[in-house]
Amino acid sequence: MTTVAVPVSTRVYQAIAENVQRVVRGKPELVRLSVAALFAEGHLLIEDVPGLGKTTLAKCLARSVGGTWNRIQFTPDLLPGDITGVVVYHQNTERFEFHPGGIFANVVLADEINRGTPKTQSALLEVMEERRATVDSVEHEVPSPFLVVATQNPIEMEGTYRLPEAQLDRFLMRLSVGYPDLASEVLVVMSDRARVRPEDLSPVVDTAELAEAIEEVRGVHIAPEVCEYAVRVAVGTRSHPAVRWGAGPRGSIALVRAAQAYAATEGRLFVRPDDVKVVAEPVLAHRLVLTPDAELAGRGAAAVVAEVLAAVAVPPVG
């Protein structure tokens, strides 16, 4: 009797998902997509109204990985140096020394990112893209793997600074938590009474295992016709009548990477067109700039992505 080896990414996903769902109840698909973003080495933006567990989810993801993690609470008085670090002169040693900022960790929770000033946001987003911080003309590499999980509240306008589209494009996915159903909310309330909190979670994988899972996901097979299908979906957003600016090539790359990661969370080392469909909205919607008429009519970017998916022919893949 032969034993089929379980992919590393599948084992790591199951461990993280089970750990996170001890606290985040009734949201298995949200957890799956969140872990898929980690596997794709992409940064994650969690956006929703207050009280739905954005920060809780981000904390649970950070605490499930046995590397270093930092929480940066964004406020209007937060400075770029608080993110990247500063160079300080020490009189006792008569030397300048670099003091790293909050960005130097394997998992960084950027809480309420839209409360930081544009200059501070740019400091974070530059490191997210380059995976290094430049302080006084000296480059400092961040740890590997490096993942940023940011949260923001979309309804409060006072004291917030909207992320520009070019900066939103740095995030692999944007997810919304959404309200739980009745049964799940009962579990949430019971968990609160039992004091099951993110702080109670222990790491279930180390950074070496996560790095191995990330490397495995890079090798997940995607057939040329499925890859072309993903690119056609991204290109389709550019010609949609409700879209002023569609997803660029970075969006096509992100869509393929996210589909590979999603397939791995389901225990497959090959991509199906359905994987592309599942991740299309969280990967592409935040990259679209709608026309003024579409915005006035109340059309959402998610609905546009759904229309593009319906219009693009699905390849017949065996």
Please report whether residue 2 resides in a domain. Answer: no
Q: Same domain, yes or no, for 139 and 268?
A: no
Q: Same domain, yes or no, for 314 and 244?
A: yes
Total Cβ atoms within 10 A of residue 95:
9
pLDDT at 40: 93
Percentage of residues in the chain with pLDDT exceeding 70? 93
Q: Same domain, yes or no, for 135 and 274?
A: no
Please report whether residue 143 resides in a domain. Answer: yes
pLDDT in tens, 173-205: 998 877 777 877 787 677 665 566 788 889 999
- Counting the structural domains of the chain, the total is 2
Q: Same domain, yes or no, for 156 and 235?
A: no
Q: Same domain, yes or no, for 174 and 53?
A: yes
pLDDT at 157: 60
pLDDT at 78: 92
Q: Cα(68)–Cα(216) distance, rounded to whole angstroms?
A: 22
Host domain of residue 312: 221-318
pLDDT at 243: 92
Find the length of the chain.
318
- Residue 137 is which amino acid? S
Please report whether residue 13 resides in a domain. Answer: no
Q: Compute the half-sphere exposure of residue 272: CA atoms within 13 Å on the CB side of its CA.
A: 11
Q: Same domain, yes or no, for 170 and 73?
A: yes
Q: Same domain, yes or no, for 225 and 174?
A: no
Q: Same domain, yes or no, for 169 and 226?
A: no
Give residue for tokens 């893209």: 129
pLDDT averaged over every residue in the chain:
87
Please report whether residue 273 resides in a domain. Answer: yes
Query: Which tops the pLDDT comparison, 314 or 176?
Result: 314
Q: Same domain, yes or no, for 37 and 155?
A: yes
Residue ending a domain, among 124, 149, 178, is 178
Cβ neighbors of 287 (< 8 A, separation 6 or more) are: 165, 168, 169, 237, 246, 247, 248, 250, 251
Question: Which of these ranges, 50-59, 115-124, 214-223, has the smallest mean pLDDT?
Answer: 50-59
Residue ending a domain, among 144, 178, 212, is 178
Please report whether residue 114 resides in a domain. Answer: yes
| Residue 261 pLDDT level (bands cut at 50, 70, 90) | very high
Please report whether residue 243 resides in a domain. Answer: yes
| Residue 66 pLDDT level (bands cut at 50, 70, 90) | confident
Q: What is the CATH number of the domain that holds 313?
A: 1.10.8.80
Q: Same domain, yes or no, for 171 and 55?
A: yes
Q: Same domain, yes or no, for 253 and 167?
A: no
Please report whether residue 210 resides in a domain. Answer: no
pLDDT in tens, 225-255: 999 999 999 999 999 999 999 999 999 999 9
Q: What is the CATH number of the domain that holds 104?
A: 3.40.50.300
Tell which residue, 184, 173, 162, has the closest CA to residue 21.
Answer: 184
Q: Same domain, yes or no, for 165 and 225?
A: no
Query: Which tops the pLDDT comparison, 188 or 311?
Result: 311
pLDDT at 93: 80
Tokens representing residue 157 in the block:
């306008």
Rounded mean pLDDT, 112-138? 88
Question: Which of these ranges, 24-28, 211-215, 237-241, has the smallest mean pLDDT?
Answer: 24-28
Please report whether residue 279 resides in a domain. Answer: yes
